[in-house]
Amino acid sequence: MDRVSAFDEPLKKLLGGATAKVMAEHLDLHTVGDLLHHYPRRYEERGRLTALADLPLDEHVTVVAQVADARVLMFNNGRGKRLEVTLTDGHGRLQLVFFGHGVHKPHKELLPGRRAMFAGKVSVFNRKMQLAHPTYQLLDATDADEATEAVDAFAGRLLPIYPACKQLDSWRIAKAVDTVLPSAQEAVDPLPPALREGRGFAPLPEALLKVHRPQTKADIAEARDRLKWDEAFVLQVALARRRYADTQLPAVARRPAPGGLLDAFDAELPFTLTEGQQKVSREIFDDLATEHPMHRLLQGEVGSGKTMVALRAMLGVVDAGGQAAMLAPTEVLAQQHHRSITEMMGELAEGGMLGGSEQGTKVVLLTGSMGVAARRQALLDLVTGEAGIVIGTHALIEDKVRFHDLGLVVVDEQHRFGVEQRDALRSKGKQPPHLLVMTATPIPRTVAMTVFGDLETSVLDQLPAGRSPIASHVVPAKDKPHFLSRAWERVREEVENGHQAYVVCPRIGDDAEDQAAGKKTKKKAPEDDGDKRPPLAVLEIAEQLTKGPLAGLRIEVLHGRMNPDDKDDVMRRFAAGDVDVLVATTVIEVGVNVPNATAMVIMDADRFGVSQLHQLRGRVGRGSAPGLCLLVSEAHEASPARARLSAVAATLDGFELSRIDLEQRREGDVLGQAQSGVRSSLRMLTVIDDEEVIAAAREEAVAIVAADPELGQLPELRTALDALLDKEREQYLDKG
């Protein structure tokens, strides 16, 4: 077999069709290489039991434990049988339950004192942790041959526990790995020999062997160090090459003319910029003054003044004779940016109009739902250069849109934009325009170095003066219903004090949505009552509040399926103070600014992600009165969902929260599902813990790419890069 093909061999050739099919469909493993890079999640020591008390809810786990007792119970007047087995590890206990015909074999085998590996999904029943119908493999079988076989299957004293799925247990994956392990000898080593020797890493074949079949804990540590480095390094080389390619592109340097639009704007500002805003502005203007396109990520908390920084950059480009475009993810947000930017600019936004300023420029809005005449005028203003600034949705990217001289593109909430859009906008300039990407989702430094690794990063971490603190509390609606009643009383008190409130729900709750949900639900077995109810819905909650705890208050609903005029009307009336309580979906997550709104109640808060909760909470406390955010949840006290909510309640620091979010999501690895829905290349590296590895790999990668941009001297590294940057990952990195 030649060196590349051993890893490309399809699994079905070696493992048989049925196993290969499950691996492909449920674990996304297709080739020998994929399986060799499917590393154990952790290792069990023979004779040591797993800590049952620490098992995560709703996750598929593999545990090694001992049977404490087992009993068969009858139910349904003797017609139904249930086997309950209690496992112990000397500290915690875990219940197993088997029903019906599945009772016989485990009843014979799972006798008190026996040890086995069990795999299943952790749920809670009657306040006890349990695994329903787990699969298991005995580790001390009575039949000597069987016992030897079980032990041999897991050579050495350390049992590898693999990320598994319901259809394929960890020990079956281990057997499959045994079959393909000889191919590890064929591994192509991506690390340049000088780098590998300089850092004292094991060769790749040896690292693969040690990670799957370690003899000692030192083997595991050595293998992990090496494999982490590979991942960090190959990814950083890909990003370094992209940054290098960008620096080779030409761009027009945009230096603001003195005494122009920017100076006039600064002179009118009723406040001074924060130190942070001044520093970030300097970084941006330095980039704009070069003849290569700027690629900068501007991150800052909700309300840290990002729009002001972006607007000054746009004005600077207009001063230098170019045009600036701001791209927003939704029409509501585009309209809002347009409104706030024209307000900030005052008469400077009325260029060419009567009463407008000499130095002014036109600021136009372009969205998909505009009337024909308004749209035609906006397009005309862009092509003639009459409009220096345009704000719009992805309608800006359409073929029909032509610019006179596009110099800067500002993208708001970048993670909602794909690579195709970024390229389409780039092609609208005579030369590639400068690019500024803004996000209000705080991103830890390591993630910025990986997910956004092709962008330089600026951070705004000071809040402008005058923002009020927000108190956050978890409301455990199931355990303490009176807490929820008190929550509604608090909302009423805020309204009586002249303020307003939001109530946020995960779902709209109209017929179309319910029918779609109905198609997905299938009939459950009677004992499968662990499934949650559907998420709470705007329309139902609004009705309950109107008739019940908030009767007499002016309550309105807002959600994405309303027509744009109705949405605008509700938002306008809420902003004007004509609505007391707005019951909404997450459409209010970005950009809604009503300083008089002081309270927010988030229903089913455990159904939202950490950064989404943080974004939502940023809608209150925007005025001088303190804000209140109540996170209502029915999640079990010991569940990861509740831990997440407590973390959000405990801190207002978005960067700290994004770290917690990462730590809790580490299984759904950060670069992959967590950010883009695309499976990531990171198996071993945890972005949150491995900051030093990532930073060191980035340094090495930059040096290697600077010396040899095409990697002509490093064919093995090229091969590894091609494997990393297959089509979907290439796209994913670009979405960055």
3-class state of residue 144 by DSSP: helix
With tokens 């794909």, the residue in question is 418
Give the residue-averaged pLDDT of 630-656. Answer: 84
Q: Which residue has the higher pLDDT, 494 or 594?
A: 494
457 touches 297 (CB < 8 A):
yes
Give the residue-averaged pLDDT of 662-675. Answer: 44
671 touches 679 (CB < 8 A):
no
Q: Which residue has the higher pLDDT, 533 or 518?
A: 533
Give dist(CA 585, CA 587) in Å, integer: 5
**Binning pLDDT at 50, 70 and 90, where does residue 680 land?**
very low
50 touches 139 (CB < 8 A):
no
Ranges 144-148, 157-161, 194-198, 336-340: which has the least confidence: 144-148
Structure tokens that stand for 79 in this block: 């017609």
Give dist(CA 285, CA 273) in Å, integer: 15
Q: Mind listing the pLDDT tens digit for each residue in 492-505?
A: 999 999 999 999 99
Answer yes or no: is pLDDT of 135 > 90: no
The closest alpha carbon to 414, from 296, 511, 525, belongs to 296
348 touches 265 (CB < 8 A):
yes
Answer yes or no: is pLDDT of 142 > 70: no
* 231-247 per-residue burial string, b: 16 or more CB within 10 A, e: under 16: bbbbbbbbbbbbbeebe
610 touches 454 (CB < 8 A):
no
Ranges 238-247, 370-379, 435-444, 538-547: which has the least confidence: 435-444
Answer yes or no: is pLDDT of 363 > 60: yes
Q: Which residue has the higher pLDDT, 360 or 197?
A: 197
Answer yes or no: is pLDDT of 699 > 80: yes
Structure tokens that stand for 651 in this block: 């801190």
Q: What's the angle, vertex CA 464, arms to CA 463 and CA 468, rounded to 5? A: 75
Give the residue-averaged pLDDT of 12-30. Answer: 88
Sequence-separated (6 or more) residues with CB below 8 Å from residue 458: 280, 283, 284, 296, 297, 298, 299
The closest alpha carbon to 120, from 91, 89, 85, belongs to 85
Give the residue-averaged pLDDT of 694-722. Answer: 89
The Cβ of residue 661 has, within 10 Å, a number of other Cβ atoms equal to 25
Largest Cα separation within the chain, whole Å, is: 97
Give dist(CA 602, CA 687) in Å, integer: 30
Sequence-separated (6 or more) residues with CB below 8 Å from residue 276: 300, 304, 305, 459, 460, 461, 462
Q: Mind listing the pLDDT tens digit for each residue in 70-84?
A: 998 888 777 888 899
Please give the C-alpha separations between residue 227 and each of 174, 178, 214, 435, 679, in angstroms, as whole numbers.
Answer: 19, 19, 14, 34, 18
Average pLDDT of every residue of the chain: 81
Give dist(CA 77, CA 340) in Å, integer: 69
361 touches 348 (CB < 8 A):
yes
**Binning pLDDT at 50, 70 and 90, where does residue 182 land?**
very high
Answer yes or no: is pLDDT of 410 > 60: yes
Answer yes or no: is pLDDT of 726 > 80: no
Q: Specify the pLDDT at position 356.
A: 44
Give the residue-averaged pLDDT of 93-100. Answer: 88
With tokens 């897991």, the residue in question is 154
Sequence-separated (6 or more) residues with CB below 8 Å from residue 312: 262, 265, 266, 281
Answer yes or no: is pLDDT of 482 > 50: yes
pTM to 2 decimals? Answer: 0.66
Stretch (H or E) spanning 627: strand 627-633
3-class state of residue 484 by DSSP: helix
Percent of the chain with pLDDT over 90: 30
**Binning pLDDT at 50, 70 and 90, where does residue 650 land?**
confident
State the DSSP code for 89: -
Q: Which residue has the higher pLDDT, 673 or 19?
A: 19
Q: Residue type for 69, please?
A: D
3-class state of residue 424 by DSSP: helix
211 touches 227 (CB < 8 A):
yes
The closest alpha carbon to 599, from 503, 505, 507, 506, belongs to 503
Sequence-separated (6 or more) residues with CB below 8 Å from residue 548: 488
Answer yes or no: is pLDDT of 641 > 90: no
The Cβ of residue 272 has, within 10 Å, a number of other Cβ atoms equal to 10
**Binning pLDDT at 50, 70 and 90, where does residue 735 land?**
very low
Give the residue-averaged pLDDT of 153-179. Answer: 79
Q: Mind listing the pLDDT tens digit for each residue in 193-231?
A: 999 999 999 999 999 999 999 988 999 999 999 999 988
3-class state of residue 197 by DSSP: helix
154 touches 112 (CB < 8 A):
no
**Binning pLDDT at 50, 70 and 90, where does residue 242 land?**
confident
Q: Specify the pLDDT at position 499.
A: 95
544-551 own/partner pairs: CB under 8 Å, 24+ apart = 545/488, 545/503, 545/581, 545/583, 548/488, 549/485, 549/488, 549/489, 549/492, 550/488, 550/491, 550/492, 550/580, 550/581
Q: Mind listing the pLDDT tens digit for each residue in 28-66?
A: 888 898 899 899 988 877 666 567 777 777 777 778 888
Describe the strand order of the beta sheet including 323-327 as a list of residue ranges.
362-366, 387-392, 323-327, 406-412, 434-439, 295-300, 456-460
Alpha-helical regions (H) of 128-192:
144-153, 170-180
Q: Specify the pLDDT at position 157.
A: 65
With tokens 């016989």, the residue in question is 104
Counting Cα atoms < 13 Å in the Cβ hemisphere of 17 gives 0
Q: What's the angle, vertex CA 438, arms to CA 434 and CA 442, rounded to 5? A: 140
**Binning pLDDT at 50, 70 and 90, where does residue 529 land?**
very low
Answer yes or no: is pLDDT of 359 > 80: no
Query: Among positive and negative, which fits the CA dihedral 87, 88, 93, 94?
Result: negative
Give dist(CA 636, CA 128) in Å, integer: 11
Sequence-separated (6 or more) residues with CB below 8 Å from residue 23: 11, 15, 29, 30, 35, 168, 176
Ranges 80-84, 561-565, 702-706: which has the least confidence: 561-565
Ranges 173-177, 196-200, 205-209, 427-431: which has the least confidence: 427-431
Q: Which residue has the higher pLDDT, 313 or 399?
A: 313
With tokens 């509700």, the residue in question is 570
